[in-house]
Structure 1
Amino acid sequence: MMRLVRHGLMYGNLVEVSSPSMVGRYNRALEHLTGKQTDLKEFHIDISGFSPEIGDEFDDPLYLNPNGCNRQFILLNVAQKTAPLLNAHFSTSRSILRRFIEDNEEQLFALSIRDAVVGELVNTIFSIRTPLDLFDIRTIDVEADTVGGHVEAGDELTDKIQRFMTEPDGWWDDVLIAEMVELSKHTGDIIRTPIALQPQSFEQGNFYTSHYGGLYVFRNVKRTACISRQHLEADDLPVKHILTLQNRREIASFLSRNKLVEPVFEADKRRAESILRQKLDFIVIDTAATRGEDLSDVSRRDLRALKRKHHRDLPDEYHDLERVVRQLVKGERLPRITPEDPAFFYLLRSRHHADKQLVNMLLSELTPLDFRQLFICNKDSFYTQYQSWSDAKKTFAARFLSEEYVVDKVGTRTELFGPEPGMSGEDEDNNFRTEQNMGPWGAIPRDDDEDDDDDEDDD
Structure 2
Amino acid sequence: MNLLRDSELIYGRLLAIEEPHLIERYNKALQAFGLKPTTRERIEIDRTGFSPQVAEDLDDPHYLDPNQINRRFIILTPQQIDLPVVHTAFSNTSQLLYEFMTANARVINALTIKDVIYGEIEDTVNKVEDIEDLLSINQVEFKVLSAEDVTGKATELATLVDRLKQEPDFWRDTSALEHMVDLAKVTGDIRQNALVPDQVIFRHNAYWTSLFGGLYVFVDPGMTTVISDPSAPGFRRSRPWQVSYLSLHDVERVFDFLMETGRIELPRASWIDNSGYLEHRAEMAVRMLIHQAEPTRKLGELDKVWLQTWIHSHADMINRDGTFPFLNGAKRELAQLGQIKMEDVRPDRRFLLVRAKPGHPDAWLTNRLISDFVPFDFISRYVFNKQGFYRDYEGFNEVWRHHVVETLKDAYLKDKAGLRARLYGLHD
Q: TM-score, normalised by structure 1?
A: 0.86
Give the 5 Å matches for 1:211-290: 211-221=211-221, 223-229=223-229, 231-234=231-234, 235-238=236-239, 239-265=242-268, 267-272=270-275, 274-290=276-292
Deviation string, structure 1 residues 71-95 (Cα, Å, up to 9, x no partner): 1111111111122212211111111
Letter in 2 for 1:411: G
| 1:123 paired to 2:123 | yes
Q: CA deviation at 1:217?
A: 1.3
Percent sequence identity over aligned pairs: 27
Q: CA deviation at 1:139?
A: 0.4
Residue among 401, 414, 417 paired with 1:410: 417
Letter in 1 for 2:10: M
Question: Whole-Å Cα distance in 1 between the matches of residues 339 and 172 of structure 2?
Answer: 88
Alignment check: 8 A CA contact 1:131 1:237 kept: no
Structure 2 unaligned segments of length 5 or more: list them: none
Q: Please give the secondary structure, in 2, of the residue aligned with 1:102.
A: helix
Residue among 377, 386, 389 paired with 1:382: 389
Corresponding residue for residue 183 of structure 1: 183
Q: Please give the secondary structure, in 2, of the residue aligned with 1:404.
A: helix
Distance change >3 Å, CA 331–CA 249, structure 1 → 2? closer
Alignment check: 8 A CA contact 1:296 1:392 kept: no
Q: CA deviation at 1:192?
A: 2.2
Q: CA deviation at 1:69?
A: 0.4
Corresponding residue for residue 310 of structure 1: 314
Letter in 1 for 2:291: A
Question: Whole-Å Cα distance in 2 between the matches of residues 404 and 333 of structure 1?
Answer: 28
Letter in 2 for 1:112: T
Question: Whole-Å Cα distance in 2 between the matches of residues 27 and 328 of structure 1?
Answer: 59
Question: Whole-Å Cα distance in 1 between the matches of residues 173 and 426 of structure 2?
Answer: 60
Structure 1 unaligned segments of length 5 or more: list them: 422-459
Question: Whole-Å Cα distance in 1 between the matches of residues 220 and 337 of structure 2?
Answer: 38
Letter in 1 for 2:211: H
Q: CA deviation at 1:230?
A: 5.9
Alignment check: 8 A CA contact 1:89 1:211 kept: yes
Distance change >3 Å, CA 338–CA 55, structure 1 → 2? farther
Distance change >3 Å, CA 162–CA 384, structure 1 → 2? same
Alignment check: 8 A CA contact 1:283 1:318 kept: yes
| 1:298 paired to 2:302 | yes
Deviation string, structure 1 residues 202-254 (Cα, Å, up to 9, x no partner): 11122111100000112335554211146334331445432222101111221
Q: CA deviation at 1:133?
A: 0.7
Corresponding residue for residue 349 of structure 2: 343
Distance change >3 Å, CA 159–CA 266, structure 1 → 2? farther
Corresponding residue for residue 23 of structure 2: 23
Q: CA deviation at 1:109?
A: 2.0
Question: Whole-Å Cα distance in 1 between the matches of residues 344 and 248 of structure 2?
Answer: 16
Q: CA deviation at 1:104?
A: 2.0
Q: CA deviation at 1:384?
A: 0.5
Corresponding residue for residue 396 of structure 1: 403
Q: Which segment is superposed worse, 260-269 or 183-192?
A: 260-269
Q: TM-score, normalised by structure 2?
A: 0.92
Q: CA deviation at 1:48?
A: 0.9
Question: Whole-Å Cα distance in 2 between the matches of residues 348 and 329 of structure 1?
Answer: 16
Question: Whole-Å Cα distance in 2 between the matches of residues 174 and 334 of structure 1?
Answer: 81
Q: CA deviation at 1:105?
A: 2.2
Question: Whole-Å Cα distance in 1 between the matches of residues 400 and 332 of structure 2?
Answer: 27
Deviation string, structure 1 residues 320-376 (Cα, Å, up to 9, x no partner): 112111333455764756564432101111222211111111111111111111111
Q: Please give the secondary structure, in 2, of the residue aligned with 1:67.
A: coil
Question: Whole-Å Cα distance in 2 between the matches of residues 369 and 403 of structure 1?
Answer: 18
Letter in 1 for 2:50: F
Question: Whole-Å Cα distance in 1 between the matches of residues 244 and 167 of structure 2?
Answer: 60
Question: May I ask how many residue pairs the two structures share in their alignment?
Answer: 420
Distance change >3 Å, CA 391–CA 325, structure 1 → 2? farther
